[in-house]
Amino acid sequence: MLYMVEFWATIERGDTVDKGEGPGPIFAKIVERFHPQALYGDPTRRHLFMVVELENPATVAELMYTLTWFTGNEPKFTPIMPPETYMEAIANAKKIIAPLWATHA
C-alpha cells in the first residue's frame, strides 16, 4: 500500500545529528531500503514528507522504528491512493448498501 509518511526531528535530536555527519547518511540508507517515490522537506523546520510503497505491516513497522529512533519522534503514516481508486471503492460500497437504500427510499 502507498503511504505518505511525515517525520520530523526533535530540536535536541536534530541538533545532535547536525553536529555530526548530518542527516545525509541515514537518508541514503532509508532511500536504499524503502525506495520512496518522493521525498520533500519543509524549509521552515526539520520536517519531511515521503511517499513510499510498503508491502506489509512488518515493513510499515520497520520504517516506523527507523524514523522514530532517528528523529526522536513518532512519524505519521497516512494511507494514500490515486483518485481513480475511489470509483472502484464507491461502486463496491453501493453494492453493499443498495438493499438498505431500497427499503428506506
| pLDDT (tens digit per residue) in 31-84 | 999 999 999 999 999 999 999 999 999 999 999 999 999 999 999 999 999 888
54 DSSP 8-state letter:
-
What sign results for the dihedral spanned by CA atoms 21, 71, 65, 33? negative
For residue 59, how many other CB atoms are within 10 A of its CB?
16
Alpha helices in the chain (DSSP H): 11-19, 24-34, 57-71, 84-104
Tally the domains of the chain. 1
The residue segments making up the domain with residue 43 are 2-104
Whether pTM > 0.75 for this model: the answer is yes
CATH of the domain at 75: 3.30.70.1060
